[in-house]
Structure 1
Amino acid sequence: MTKLFIKTNRTLSAVLSKYKYSTAAKSIALVDIKGKEFVSDDYTNITPKIISYLGKNLHMQKNNPLSIVRQRIVNYFYSSFTQRGAPAFSIYDNLSPIVTTKQNFDDLLIPSNHPSRAKSDCYYINRGNLLRAHMTAHQSELLRSGLDNFLMIGDVYRRDEIDSTHFPVFHQVDGVRSQRKEELFPGQPDLEIFEPNYDKKNPHTFVNSIKDPMKQSCHTLEATKLMETQLKTHLISLTQVLFGESIKYRWVEEYFPFTHPSWELEIFYDNKWMEILGCGIVRNEILVNAGPTNSIAYAFGLGLERLAMALYKIPDIRLMWSTDSGFLTQFQNIDLNESVTYKPVSSYPQCINDMSFWLPENLTIDTFVSNDFYDLVRDIGGDIIEQVRLKDKFVHPKTKKHSLCYSIVYRHLERTLTQAEVNEVHKVIEKAVVDTFGVAMR
């Protein structure tokens, strides 16, 4: 499918004249991703538009605010953790976003019925492969290679709604820090990481429990509390480096399948509490399965877009993908710790078109997957799609037919769209929706 984020020397109508939407793609046996072929199956839902984002690596592009925030985080860990004068943390920021379901889910103890595995949440290449939904997908392979302390940085992919703060691609920094007994309790031989009934020689035989909200059953309370203190101290210090010493914060207890206990850190920003990271003590089963049997570890994950938008007052997540010099020059050659407030280059008007349709008999307003609709709209409209929202749902009292109405907000980031151009794109989307979902336009 053709990308419709058009520069001023091209018109939408010129692109649309070449655009041929067909549902025949569903029967294609192979999926080509950057020259590598995968066999498709009933789980395949990755789209050409999403594939086009692979390899962009915004977190590594000079003058992009995501790269600036990434470097500030890396600098903090380099300066805060050293071994014999060298940084203790290894940085991995060019890992392939194509991972297996084992890496993304099984290695992290995510249950087979967990909602995060759903096709409506992830971009599947096939049943065995997908675009990583979090950087933690690489945690076990790095632990298996013998690493103790590392940061994983890159692009992650999740199907989601469309608005100014959500995009199907965003960037994360995930980290792991593990310690053995002599590192955690230096000079204190009487203190232990593991409870006496934990068999360190045969760790796979120990059934680890997370019923106790304070700790995992294999860990001593002393080890868990010390790791918790270290974790929270380091992440609060990082937050203060980014947002200033006076930033208000609070910890909220949370649940993640791969850590226990787990927390989220929130900051008071723009007169409301905003979550900026999740963290916790790594489940011991993950460590044992990856190799380390004598360590305890903590892990954390931060979203670069959320941090950059807050730090630099960037109002629309799509701007991170802009190549407009008016945007990028605002972050050019600045001091990493400089306070920068984004200034809009110009404000282009929105065009809003509604789309109403009757669902076929095999679908209802409760079973229709909005993320499927959002992906189709984005695949055709590209980056001129600013927002899609469900405006109305209706069940006809006599026919019992189900109807949905979505508002699609169009806005170009670099020029003014005409209503005629938008109407042309809207018609192509309508046809694609009819062909794909079997709906009838109202």
Structure 2
Amino acid sequence: MTLCCRARPLLLRPLLEPSFLNGQSTRVGANYWASTFRPLPYRVLSTEGPASHPSGQPNSVEVLGQFFHRDDYTNATAKILSKVGRNLHNRPHHPLWLIKERIKAHFYGTYKGRWGNPLFSMHDNLSPVVTVEQNFDSLLIAPDHASRKKGDNYYLNRGHMLRAHTSAHQRDLVRYGLDAFLVAGDVYRRDEIDASHYPVFHQMEGVRLFSNLELFEKVERGEDLCLFESGGRRTPQKQETHTLEAVKLLEFNLKQTLTRLVRHLFGEDLEIRWVECYFPFTHPSYEMEVRFQGDWLEVLGCGVMEQELVHSAGADNKIGWAFGLGLERLAMVLYGIPDIRLFWSEDERFLKQFHLPSIDDPVTFQPLSKYPPLMNDISFWLPAEGYSENDFYDLVRTIGGDLVEKVSLIDQFTHPKTGKISHCYRVTYRHMERTLTQEEVRVIHQSIEKASEQELGVKGRY
């Protein structure tokens, strides 16, 4: 037996009008919006070292004017906190801004509301400080899921963190009453060190919800079709509460929307394929891969939103899709940018290349002078327990900063008698704007060696 839900009337006011964003919603009040989604001031303080405590609160971390009590989960370093508020995606003529604006312009121009206003609203200035509940629980990510690990995230304390994905805002925006929106922002993850990984990067999220009337309005005899069914079961093709016809139509709309987007970015002749995958917050789920310069490249993930998530946000009579993509990944491919550290460069030789008359003008990055790398190895015995490679990578980032181009594990050894394990890493140093000397690199490398023993409990083999 199928169960049909009545569609609610469409919101007719433009979603971008201040009067709408400051007005009352049928789901939550305007005060909730004001307190949760503040604009970001360009001001960041950390608590690393005595000099960082002008407020006299050594047991707290200050981010964007707010204090968070330190506990055993606090691992956000001064180096990482110094990136908060930089908002590269909002810096005019920055390559990340170009990508964001091209995507926004495509959605604004292609999808219109009933009165000709943009159907999708853009939210690119939401605070990157979120609760652990927002980042994980609101997206149905299980308490024991590997993505929650302290070693993979930057926690301010057990209750707050720097968002690991823009999806952390998904439920709140739906709860406020938005049915079609884009979110762009900086996200933070502890990760390996190489030319394509950086602990701060930028994502863009898209969500679209449909009522029964909206999804089936162009289908013959659509009034006889329903979004939901009772007594259904979960299959690889659909969730238990959804009808198969609703999911198939929603899937078609999602893939058509994203195909139009990537062809707008890469060109109409782009070859595309879809790969089934798994995300905790969508089912079914897909990754899109595009054929670019002879290789298949994953560019985004997407899927039908879990109905439990939609239900928790108060949109019981709707179903929807969501997608997420990395702005750095797209910019590196489209503009030929070889190293992710370049996005943080203040070198005018880099930045001026993206001062274009139009955001759609083609541009290919012209490499700066290629300064020679310097490589130094570090070997140590691991402690009996508690060692994490991400802890070591984060320590190297904290001390070496953007002078570190890459860290590679080049050798592992297990002592045949003691069973102790030794790791040897090669750290590649390269300045983006000048030639480094071995003398200055050695000072940094020795600091890494000393800090590794003090903070990670390893025993050096230097």
TM-score (norm: length of structure 1):
0.89
Structure 2 gap segments, 5+ residues each:
1-47, 51-56
Residue 229 (structure 1) aligns with: 252
Task: Please state how far the C-alpha of 1:28 moved relative to its aligned partner.
Answer: 5.5
The residue matched to 2:352 in structure 1 has which SS?
helix
1:7 is matched with none
Work out the CA distance in 2 between the residues paired with 1:312 and 1:69. Answer: 10
Matching of residues 27-42 of structure 1 within 5 Å: 29-42=59-72
* Cα distance per residue 1:30-85 (max 9 Å; x no partner): 22224321111121111111101000000011121110000000011101111111
SS in 2 for 1:347: coil
| 8 Å contact kept, 2:387–2:456 | no
CA distance in 2, matches of 1:221, 1:160: 39
For residues 182 and 382 of structure 1, the distance between their equivalents in structure 2, rounded to whole angstroms, comes to: 53
Residues 286-317 of structure 1 deviation map (CA, whole Å, 9 limit, x = unaligned): 11111011101000001100000000010000
Give, in whole Å, the separation in 2 of the partners of 1:401 and 1:303. 39
**1:298 to 2:298 alignment:** no
Distance 1:438 1:192 in 2: 60
- Aligned AA for 1:91? M
- Among 334, 352, 357, the residue aligned to 2:375: 352
- In structure 2, the partner of 1:95 is 126
Write out aligned runs for 1:360-375 (5 A).
360=383, 362-363=384-385, 368-375=387-394
Instruction: Please state if 1:218 is matched with 2:241.
Output: yes
Residue number in structure 2 paired with 1:11: none
Distance 1:286 1:439 in 2: 43
Q: How many Å separate the matches in 2 of 1:409 and 1:28?
A: 35
1:20 Cα offset (Å): 8.2
Identical pairs, percent? 54
Q: Quote the residue 1:202 is aligned against.
A: none
Specify the alignment match of 2:177 in structure 1.
146
Q: Distance in 2 between matches of 1:28 and 1:212?
A: 52
Q: Which residue type is aligned with residue 319 of structure 1?
A: L
Two-structure CA RMSD over aligned residues (Å): 1.8
| Residue aligned with 1:177, SS | strand
TM-score normalised to structure 2 length = 0.85
Q: What's the counterpart of residue 201 of structure 1?
A: none
1:245 and 2:275 correspond: no
Identify unmatched segments of 5+ residues in structure 1.
1-18, 22-26, 199-207
> Does residue 211 of structure 2 align to residue 192 of structure 1?
no
Distance 1:342 1:412, change over 3 A: same
Query: Is the aligned partner of 1:73 residue 2:75?
Result: no
Deviation string for 1:159-181 (max 9, x for gaps)? 11000000001101101000101
Match of residue 191, structure 2, among 136, 149, 160 = 160
Alignment equivalent of 2:202, drawn from 161, 171, 183: 171
Matched, 1:50 2:80: yes
- Residues 108 and 20 of structure 1: CA distance in aligned 2, closer, same or farther (over 3 Å): closer
Report the secondary structure of 1:87's partner residue: coil
One-letter code aligned to 1:56: R
Cα distance in 2 between the residues matched to 1:308 and 1:87: 25
Query: Could you tell me which amino acid in structure 2 is paired with residue 253 of structure 1?
Result: E
Letter in 2 for 1:80: T
Q: 2:28: which partner in 1? A: none
Paired position in structure 2 for 1:123: 154
Q: Distance between the aligned counterparts of 1:419 and 1:63, measured in 2?
A: 35
- Alignment correspondent of 1:108: 139
Q: Residue type of the partner of 1:64?
A: H
For residue 434 of structure 1, what is the aligned residue in structure 2?
453
